[in-house]
């Protein structure tokens, strides 16, 4: 059962929906079915994988306690 991301064309609400068979979701905010399915990147956890480290993590120059690893100091 895949999880898809949608945006409601009526109210603009963004949400995820666990789809079963040919089920058509409705917006949880307004209840309408005018939805746009968004393209999203699938993710998977790999046992033993190491996340990239942020270059600012050791120096704490970015003042982020849990470094995201997205290179915020490289801009």
Number of domains in the chain: 1
How much is the pTM?
0.53
Residue 55's pLDDT band (cuts 50, 70, 90): low
Q: Is the pLDDT of residue 75 over 50?
A: no
CATH code: domain of residue 14: 2.20.28
- 23: in domain: yes
Average pLDDT estimate for 23-35: 93
- 62: in domain: no
Who wins on pLDDT, 33 or 22? 33
Query: In terms of residue numbers, what domain contains 19?
Result: 1-40
- 68: in domain: no
- Would the CA dihedral through 12, 10, 7, 17 be positive or negative? positive
- 59: in domain: no
With H, G, I as helix, E, B as strand and everything else as coil, classify residue 72.
helix
* Cα 60 to Cα 32, 54, 63, 65, 71, distances in angstroms: 46, 10, 5, 8, 13
Residues in the chain, overall count:
75
Report how far residue 19's alpha carbon sits from residue 31's, in angstroms, rounded to the nearest whole number.
Answer: 16
């Amino acid at each position: 059962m895949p999880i898809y991301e949608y945006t409601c064309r009526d109210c603009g609400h963004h949400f995820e929906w666990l789809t079963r068979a040919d089920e058509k979701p409705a917006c949880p905010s307004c209840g309408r079915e005018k939805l746009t399915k968004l393209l999203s990147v699938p993710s998977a956890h790999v046992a033993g994988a190491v996340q990239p480290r942020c270059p600012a993590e050791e120096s704490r120059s970015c003042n982020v306690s849990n470094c995201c690893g997205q290179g915020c100091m490289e801009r």
